[in-house]
Chains A and B, each alone.
Chain A
Amino acid sequence: MVETPGSCSGSGNERENGARIGVFICHCGGNISDVVDVKRVADEIGKLPGVVFSTTQMFVCSDPGQGLIEQKIKELGLNRVIVAACSPTLHQLTFRRTVARAGLNQFLFEHVNVREQVSWVTEDAEAATQKATRLIRAAVDRVKHLTPLDKRRIPIHPAALVIGGGIAGLVTARDLAQRGMKVTLVEKQPFLGGRVAQLHTLFPTGEDARDALKRVIEEVVSHELVNVITSAQILDSEGVVGDFRTRIRIEPRGANSQLRQRASAVAACPEQTINEFDYGLSQRKAIYMAYPGCYPPIPAIDWNVCTKCGKCVWAVGGRGINLAEQPREMVLHSGIIVLATGFDPYEPLYGEYGYGIFPRVITLQQLIRLLDPLGPTGGRLPRNDGEPTRIAFIHCVGARQIEGVNQRQPDGRVKDYCARTCCTGALHAALEIRRRHADVMITDFYQDIRTYGRGHEAYYEQASEAGILFVRYDPRHPPRVEGNPKGDSPLLVRTSDLLTGGLDVEMPADLVVLATGVVPHDISELVGMYHCAVGSDSFLLEVHPKLRPVELAVAGVFLAGSCQGPMDVTEACAAASAAASKAAALIAQAQVEMDPFIARVDEELCTGCQTCLTVCAYDAITRDETRGIAVVSEARCTGCGTCAATCPSNAIQQFGFNDAQVLAEVKALLQGAALG
């Protein structure tokens, strides 16, 4: 261990704005020290003005390592601490806590990355050692400009708003309630259940989807802390973490719990419309129940279809139906918000694999409805003459698309991501068909089979054993679906089979099932309202895919389920529980702690030019008309620093990243470079 108090006696420190810097360089058990000569670096750094202690450690993150930091802070009165080790994404928080334990403000700590960005990427040991020295030297100059910062603390109203009544929203609401949190669950549709209600059985367990759903709904609606609101539409939302005010509009249901003879009310209705629950495979009335055993178990009236003819009212003797019911508005007060807005199945473009042209080309979702004993056909597949004998599945429809090969979507992009659920889903359905009709011949056109989930691979094996024929197509030349000139079956699927070295395959089919991908449910108005980050795949974007997977960058807003990306039911529930626990933890703190790296306006320097007012994506900057200067709302600011780079007078500075600090880094890194 090298200790070098020499070069920086008291006076020296005064010149360095009184900084007493301790530097701890990690061997990382050789990960760093095998390449970087850490001892030499410690020596070099020890000579810098302001540095009163410089040492190396086998594992700085270990208990002895952290112990040493605390000890030296107390012993030498260190007021700045630098650790050069792995990436800050791993241990920055660890060491902040360490220095805090020793009574030093945690933001007087600086983390230098000499593993991921030095020892692991550099071959030449000498060069790596010099680079490490430069980076730490820059940190030394940077920390001289650091000031103690406090995390922002904002009180939290102990209630949660969950948006979306699908499986993810339900699970989130349940978990929150079970943790004793007050929850309001709002659903746009008149009925809960979302997409899962439209499934028949669930993989990999094969259990009945609606039974599972029913159990969750029971747990939710029976819980006294949960308030469920259906037919609810979000109008606008204001406020910040801890104190959101969300205004909603509740469409009139038309029917209420006094309605006894529900069946006759529905039967009496003369109006028919397409039943979106069956993906257009059936019709429903203007007053309807979404599905058998749906919740709430009360019919709802579709006002777009209802003519207010009154027949239903007559049929039930006027009790329980009110055609004059008016919409209501209310404001929901919550400390946090969970978005569980779900997905929509990919709707193939007209003519994509013959979709829309040939009635016998259907989507996997439609097939699942057809297989449902309670579905439009009571579980029977469409007949032509006799049971269909040949069914072709085509995978990756509206998924893993290739620019230039697949037709662009209305948004100008192609759906290049894997929808993850359709492989298993398709095989699950195919096997179901085989179980029911031993004689059906099934061909499965795929580019890759991705039955990645636990127990999912079994479907693939069973399918192969069950004699389902797999044809692998080249994604650059996807199969073509055509009408069949020969009468034996209405359709033809053509492609060349990679498995047989590109042999041309021409497969007659009575039914073509498109295993379609998934797209996020359109929530553009919510995205604007809550300043959500959205990925190029137009799913909502978490703060960090691994480290903070269920949080949005906007404090207090969480993600649950497939609004974040394609998920099967298992994953959606897991994500929902994760979101619930994160949200609950936040509420439990009673106050929220936020990183202090926010922007602040120097009132002296602000010239009132108003350039910054349009740049904040979070509307955190407003103009104080009386003083004619800009003001940053601490609670709204997410600390990106964009406004700081915008301000033409450098009047806006970002804590932790102000000009002095970053410029000090730049100049320190370039020491000596000036000599060419």
Chain B
Amino acid sequence: MAEAHVVQQGVTPAAVGWEPRIIAFLCYWCSYTGADAAGTARLKYPPNVDIIRVMCSGRIDPELITTAFAHGADGVMVCGCHIGDCHYISGNHKTMARMPLLKRTLVDLGIEPDRFVHEWVSAAEGEKFARLVREVTERVRRLGPLGWPQRMRERGVGCGMSLEPWGA
């Protein structure tokens, strides 16, 4: 069997008390204000989503998202103004094309679709934002830890495998 050649892979099962870690990139004018609206309305949602603010969803470089996963995010959210409502005219049109392309790439690399969510949230849609956070957190929780960093370390990335047997 091929396993004879490989150290066993796969992350250790979800540690007890594991909580999903999700990064959300929000545009300032619509989605961030939408998140504020959820707060002002005292809507409750899980604490697993940490928000990073950018001026426009058009600023959200795919490299930010690959970095997040590579550093141990279990999920990533990207939110921007609805198409047609961009405060910078068409910044979100770029997002509209980048994110599906990025998503296909991530899926091809084995990251489940539910771990990467791209949604439009307007300044008024506090309820939608709260719902989104609940749903995404739940879905990611069901998927379990992604554990990219240790997964790669086990495969020798950055450190080698120093596998016996070999001579010298």
Contacts and interface: CB of A to CB of B under 8 A. Distances in A.
Q: Do chains A and B touch in the complex (CB under 8 A)?
A: yes
B29 to A, nearest CB: 7
Contacts of A113: 36, 51
A121 B45 contact: yes
A141 to B, nearest CB: 12
B130 interface: yes
Contact of A673 (B12, B21, B38, B64): B21
Contacts of B36: 87, 89, 113, 116-117
A238 to B, nearest CB: 18
Nearest to B59: A641
A669 interface: yes
B50 interface: yes
B23 A666 contact: yes
A615 B87 CA distance: 15
Contacts of A662: 52, 54, 64
A676 interface: yes
Given A87-B36, A123-B44, A533-B89, A657 B73 contact: no
A324 interface: no
Contacts of B23: 666, 669-670
A89 B50 contact: no
Nearest to A597: B55
B42 interface: yes
A68 to B, nearest CB: 25
Nearest to A615: B94
A372 B91 CA distance: 48
A3 to B, nearest CB: 27
A642 B21 contact: no
Given A89-B33, A673-B72, A531 B89 contact: yes
A642 B87 contact: no
Given A120-B40, A617-B89, A543 B47 contact: no
Given A553-B88, A663-B67, A117 B39 contact: yes
B150 A674 contact: yes
A675 interface: yes
B43 interface: yes
B54 A543 contact: no
A186 to B, nearest CB: 24
Interface string B1-30: 000000000011011001101010000010
A659 B89 CA distance: 23
B74 interface: yes
Contacts of B40: 116, 120
Given A128-B47, A615-B94, A641-B59, A673 B74 contact: yes
Given A553-B88, A673-B74, A676-B12, A117 B51 contact: yes
Contacts of B71: 666-667, 670, 673-674
A300 interface: no
Interface stretch (B78-86, B108-116, B158-166): B78-86
Interface stretch (A37-45, A129-137, A283-291): A129-137
B21 A670 contact: yes
Interface residues on A, range: 35 or more
Contacts of B60: 645
A609 to B, nearest CB: 16
A545 interface: yes
Contacts of A543: 29, 87
Contacts of A541: 85, 87
Nearest to A669: B50
A676 B147 contact: yes
Contact of B50 (A135, A536, A545): A135
Contact of B88 (A638, A667, A673): A638
Interface residues of B, dominant DSSP: loop
A116 B39 contact: yes
Interface string A215-227: 0000000000000
Nearest to A124: B47
B38 A665 contact: no
Contact of A534 (B29, B84, B98): B84
Interface residues of B, number: 60
Nearest to A644: B59
Contacts of A654: 55, 59
Given A642-B88, A666-B68, A127 B59 contact: no
A666 to B, nearest CB: 5
B56 interface: yes
Interface in B121-155: 123, 130, 145, 147, 149-150
B130 A640 contact: no
Contact of B55 (A87, A121, A544, A639): A639
B77 interface: no
B59 A115 contact: no
Nearest to A532: B89
A617 B81 CA distance: 16
Contacts of B59: 640-642, 644-645, 654, 657
Contacts of B33: 89, 544
A15 B127 CA distance: 44
A676 B14 contact: yes
Given A130-B47, A543-B29, A617-B91, A659 B61 contact: yes
Which of A122, A128, A670 is most buried by chain B, counting CB atoms within 10 A of its CB?
A670
Given A534-B84, A553-B88, A640-B91, A670 B72 contact: yes
A403 B165 CA distance: 69
Which of B46, B88, B147 is most buried by chain A, counting CB atoms within 10 A of its CB?
B88
Contacts of A666: 23, 52, 64, 67-68, 71, 73
30 contacts: A87-B36, A116-B38, A116-B40, A118-B47, A120-B39, A121-B39, A121-B43, A122-B44, A127-B19, A127-B46, A130-B47, A533-B89, A536-B85, A640-B55, A640-B56, A641-B56, A645-B58, A645-B98, A662-B54, A666-B64, A666-B67, A666-B73, A670-B73, A673-B74, A674-B71, A674-B72, A674-B149, A676-B12, A676-B147, A676-B150
Give 3 nearest A-B pairs by CB, closest first. A116-B39, A641-B59, A642-B58
